Amino acid sequence: MEDQPITPHAVPVFDAEGNLTYIGDDGRRYVVGPLPELDEAHVDQVMQRLLAGQLLFSELESLASQWLDQVCGPDLSRGAALALLLSSLEMALDADENDAVG
């Protein structure tokens, strides 16, 4: 069985070791990985930005769930639709970043 993408259930947070982690919709904790060395002030700033974005993240999660409910069916499994959504978002956000840089 192939690995299915896991949707974050909550806003990512820093654990005691300084790793960025999140709880997936399957209830398990996922470690994104260590971040570059940051002093405590920078970590606090990042945490404040993550917390400030919590409501928006919840809205994104709700919209993504609605989209999945609408497009899934006999010809498109939920796992395939989720993979399509995530890859499409990644490409769109990469394109936005490239447009801003270039």
- In this predicted structure, the answer to whether residue 64 has a pLDDT above a threshold of 50 is yes
pTM of the model: 0.55
Domain ranges for the chain: 7-52, 56-102
Task: Provide mean pLDDT across the span 78-100.
Answer: 82
Per-residue pLDDT reduced to its tens digit, 38-53: 677 777 888 888 889 8
Tokens 């010809």 sit on residue? 75
Q: How many Å apart are CA 60 and CA 57, to the nearest integer? A: 5
**Residue 67: what pLDDT?**
94
